[in-house]
Structures are given as structure tokens and as C-alpha cells.
């Protein structure tokens, strides 16, 4: 087991306690992170615990908790498709964050620009 795969508890994280107190985490201690380009395009959704949010805020790189791999991952760490974080906002309920980024290359693990460009379930008629 690597140091990357050990998830830190909220108490162990260096996240600002004032920010941590505002977070409403799910049963797994995570908040939804909606990732949007600076141009306004929704790129992906990830999950953050306190430590992933702290790392994102302090490094300026999108850092998430992988629920499938059970480890922290920095977007672009292996693919080179880096997210340069421009802004992070906490929603009014404290149960989600908006991460505004400059995305290099595709955001989706499938190689597409966004995770939301494959299946359109309802398209407006332009009216």
C-alpha cells in the first residue's frame, strides 16, 4: 500500500477548519466536485474528501479521491491532461464544490473533451 492510497480522515487533513466545518459530506466522507472550464463548459464530476480539497486549494491542480481505486489522484498525473485550477467555490448547502479549471486535453477518461458529450437525453429546440 502506498502513501497515496491511505485516505486521511477529516481530522488529519490540513484543510482550513472553517472550510471543513461548512462541508456536508456523504456517508463516505466525500463531497461532489463539479469541474467546469473557465469558458463555462461542464467537463466532469469527481469526488473530494477534506484532504483532496486541501491539495487542490494549495497546489492549484485538480486532486480527487478515486472511489474505485481507493486512492488520491491528480488529474493529468498519468495522462498529461492537467487541470490548472483557477477557482473553487462551495455551494450554498456545502455538499458540492465547483472547480473552475483550464483543462489541457480531454477531461474524460474515455478521451473526449467532456464526460457529458456522449449521451444527450434531452436537447432543447433552440427556443
**Binding residue positions for Zn(2+):** 92, 108, 115
H or E stretch at 65: strand 63-66
Kindly report the backbone phi and psi dihedral angles of residue 102, in degrees, each rounded to the nearest multiple of 5, phi listed first: -100, 115
Annotated binding site: 91-93, 95, 108, 115
Q: Are 42 and 35 in contact (CB under 8 A)?
A: yes
The set of cell numbers assigned to 65 is 479521491
Three-state DSSP at 32 gives: strand
The set of cell numbers assigned to 12 is 488529519
Positive or negative: CA dihedral 113, 118, 123, 126: positive
Annotated binding site for Mg(2+): 91, 93, 95
Amino acid at each position: 500500500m502506498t502513501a497515496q492510497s491511505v485516505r486521511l480522515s477529516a481530522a488529519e487533513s490540513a484543510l482550513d477548519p472553517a472550510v471543513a466545518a461548512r462541508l456536508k459530506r456523504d456517508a463516505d466522507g466525500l463531497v461532489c466536485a463539479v469541474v467546469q472550464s473557465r469558458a463555462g463548459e461542464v467537463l466532469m464530476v469527481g469526488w473530494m474528501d477534506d484532504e483532496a480539497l486541501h491539495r487542490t486549494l494549495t497546489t492549484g491542480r485538480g486532486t480527487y479521491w478515486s472511489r474505485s481505486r481507493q486512492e488520491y489522484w491528480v488529474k493529468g498525473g498519468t495522462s498529461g491532461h492537467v487541470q490548472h485550477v483557477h477557482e473553487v467555490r462551495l455551494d450554498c448547502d456545502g455538499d458540492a464544490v465547483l472547480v473552475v479549471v483550464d483543462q489541457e486535453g480531454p477531461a474524460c477518461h474515455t478521451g473526449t473533451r467532456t464526460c457529458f458529450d456522449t449521451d444527450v437525453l434531452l436537447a432543447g429546440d433552440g427556443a
